[in-house]
């Protein structure tokens, strides 16, 4: 109870920093995506496959949040694109200030796409704007199709739902139609992709989604009177 | 940053309420278990199978935490034991006050075992003592064997690790020996059980673990000068 006023203050301070980041991303025409899921839903593996499919000359970078280790950044750095770990040291989410600090010495004018992999947590990251153009929620099939109903905030705030690990559908009880229905009962226009990082199914559509989203962002940015490149 | 002093205050207030709960549980010889995992790791299903295997006369109750729905309590109530939902309305963990409120009108002298199913979150619930005798962490095989390293707090604080969904081992890359090694590198004496709620494998050992843990608690309680039944 005592926590609410301070939480509001922390969030409005976060919103100010996030707005500053969003302006910078727009100024440089950078598509920033904030990837959120439960622990182990497959964010890092999806990013590995994404980076592996991009041309070497793509102007992409990755920030990856983790409570304790830098395993993920090391996994992602192997693809030759800039990858930096934000170790939160216990905190259950990334906040805008952490992102701002991590970007302090980066040349943003050299980027078109920045993917932020949040801490594995389906709850807290949904409250913290990182200046992204879009939040993306990953839900893996073994987690069950009820998750949109039980963790509605992140499904409401995400533009895209990536249903991951569809190769496990034969081995678990997961009703794909109901999962889609639950997600859209929370967020009626939500885009949904089905993906398997094991078989590669759906990855082309995922890459296409990112490209299309970047074009939408740059079209919007070009129209802004004070921004544009 | 501004958050730390208040967070400390909230936690020490929580600790006071948790200590009060712990005294009440001991007074009545109740084994209280706090079950924590990522969303979709299988807490509710494990509890369904647990309640289904207990004799009708067992003096058991369940509290189940959820952000939004009361699905879990409805699933668990079917077994005829008292089951109550704590809907946190957005909060990412249960705290001791929520548990105290939920127990306000229960006759604790009629209970031997209280299982609390926490909100699906591998991070925040680890900071909140609920007065339990033991925390138990569930990790499901599809989440990957690196989770103890990435989310060390909950593995350090839990007495028991339940490795769930072992029926999926043939279909995912999960190295059981490394999972155990990682867990014990964080928490050397940690007990570990392997379970499948689909095949029933390991459930007898799990029920045995609960029984043994209850006996340990009651033996300890009997020795306490001011408590004991």
A151 contacts B165? CB cut-off 8 A: no
Is residue A7 scored above 80 in pLDDT? no
Residue A118, pLDDT score: 98
Domains of chain A: 16-217 (3.40.50.300)
Mean pLDDT across B31-43:
98
Q: Is residue A110 helix, strand or coil? A: helix
Is residue A65 scored above 60 in pLDDT? yes
Q: Which residue of A has its CA nearest to B197?
A: A172
Average pLDDT, chain A: 93
pLDDT in tens, A90-117: 899 999 999 999 999 999 999 999 999 9
Residue A223, pLDDT score: 73
Does B2 lie at the interface with A, CB-CB under 8 angstroms?
Answer: yes
ipTM, interface predicted TM-score of the complex: 0.90
pLDDT in tens, B113-169: 999 999 999 999 999 999 999 999 999 999 999 999 999 999 999 999 999 999 999
Residues ≥6 apart with Cβ < 8 Å to A220 = none
CB B138 within 8 A of CB B164: yes
pLDDT in tens, B39-76: 999 999 999 999 999 999 999 999 999 998 888 999 99
CB A162 within 8 A of CB A195: yes
Residue B35 pairs in a beta bridge with B117, B136
B120 contacts A150? CB cut-off 8 A: yes
Confidence band (pLDDT; 50, 70, 90) for B220?
confident
Q: Which residue of B has its CA nearest to A6?
A: B3
Chain A nearest-CA distance from B153, in A, is 8
Residue B183: which of B166, B164, B160 has the closest Cα?
Answer: B160
pLDDT in tens, B183-206: 999 999 999 999 999 999 999 999
Mean pLDDT across B213-225:
84
Is residue A3 scored above 70 in pLDDT? no
Residue A225, pLDDT score: 60
Chain A nearest-CA distance from B181, in A, is 16
Residue B68, pLDDT score: 86
Q: Which two tokens stand for residue B2?
A: 């501004």
| Strand residue runs (E) in B165-211 | 191-194
Confidence band (pLDDT; 50, 70, 90) for A2?
very low
Q: Which residue of A has its CA nearest to B87?
A: A150
B3 contacts A150? CB cut-off 8 A: no
Is residue B4 scored above 70 in pLDDT? no
DSSP state of A112: S
Does B144 lie at the interface with A, CB-CB under 8 angstroms?
Answer: yes
Is residue B228 scored above 80 in pLDDT? no
Q: Which two tokens stand for residue B109?
A: 């002298």
How far is Cα B133 from Cα B25, in angstroms, rounded to an integer?
A: 9
When comparing pLDDT for A149 and A225, which is higher? A149
C-alpha dihedral (B7, A134, A161, A168), degrees to nearest 10: -80
Is residue A169 scored above 70 in pLDDT? yes
Q: Is the pTM above the cut of 0.90?
A: yes
How far is Cα A95 from Cα A12, in angstroms, rounded to an integer?
A: 11
Does B29 lie at the interface with A, CB-CB under 8 angstroms?
Answer: no
A contacts of B124 (beta carbons < 8 Å): 92, 121, 123-124
Is residue B82 scored above 50 in pLDDT? yes
Is residue A227 scored above 60 in pLDDT? no
How far is Cα B131 from Cα B128, in angstroms, rounded to an integer?
A: 9
Mean pLDDT across A28-51:
97
Q: Which residue of B has its CA nearest to A72?
A: B150
């Amino acid at each position: 109870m005592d926590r609410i006023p301070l939480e509001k203050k922390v969030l409005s301070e976060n919103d100010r920093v996030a707005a500053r980041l969003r302006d910078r991303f727009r100024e440089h025409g950078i598509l920033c995506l904030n990837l959120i899921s439960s622990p182990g839903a497959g964010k890092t593996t999806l990013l590995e496959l994404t980076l592996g499919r991009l041309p070497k000359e793509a102007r992409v970078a990755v920030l990856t949040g983790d409570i304790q280790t830098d395993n993920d950044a090391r996994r992602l750095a192997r693809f030759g694109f800039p990858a930096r770990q934000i170790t939160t040291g216990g905190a259950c989410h990334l906040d805008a200030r952490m992102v701002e600090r991590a970007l302090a010495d980066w040349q943003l004018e050299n980027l078109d796409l920045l993917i932020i992999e949040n801490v594995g947590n389906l709850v807290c990251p949904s409250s913290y704007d990182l200046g992204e153009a879009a939040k993306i929620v990953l839900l893996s099939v073994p987690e069950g199709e009820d998750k949109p109903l039980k963790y509605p905030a992140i499904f409401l705030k995400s533009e895209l739902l990536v249903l991951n690990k569809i190769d496990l559908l034969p081995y678990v009880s997961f009703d794909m139609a109901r999962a889609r229905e639950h997600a859209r009962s929370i967020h009626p226009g939500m885009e949904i992709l089905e993906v398997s990082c094991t078989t590669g199914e759906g990855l082309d559509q995922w890459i296409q989604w990112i490209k299309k989203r970047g074009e939408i962002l740059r079209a919007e940015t070009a129209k802004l009177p004070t921004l544009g490149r």
